[in-house]
Structure 1
Amino acid sequence: MAEAKSGIYSHRLGDRWLGGAFNCGRVILRHFFSEAELVALSAQIDLGERSEPPSSLFAGIVREP
């Protein structure tokens, strides 16, 4: 679901939709890290490596098998 003109979007995770709280991630990161730090940290991300969030992060959102 996306409406680029107004900046509205949501992400699907399984059969659920994630809420707007995920939209604030950039603002939170900018509060704690400078632009230079974010650029340096971003350069370390290995896009080929799969990573999983802690299971407690999505408790109640993801249906367990």
Structure 2
Amino acid sequence: MSPTPPPSTGAPVPAADANESIRRFVCARGGRAWTAQDMADYAVLLEIWTLAVRAEVIEAA
């Protein structure tokens, strides 16, 4: 099951939503070895989360 990044609208998703996507992704793979595709998909989700957190920090400043 690949992650489903939101359509690119130019605005990052809320960090809480990105975090929830990561949580669901990891829970769905609980107890089994990750494939190369799993790791690549996880990297995409981490990038989305990083951009979301960075945007929230900048907005708060």
- TM-score, normalised to structure 2, is 0.31
Structure number having the greater strand percentage: 1
- Structure possessing the higher relative contact order (Cα contacts under 8 Å, 6 or more residues apart): 2
Structure number having the greater helix percentage: 2
- TM-score, normalised to structure 1, is 0.30
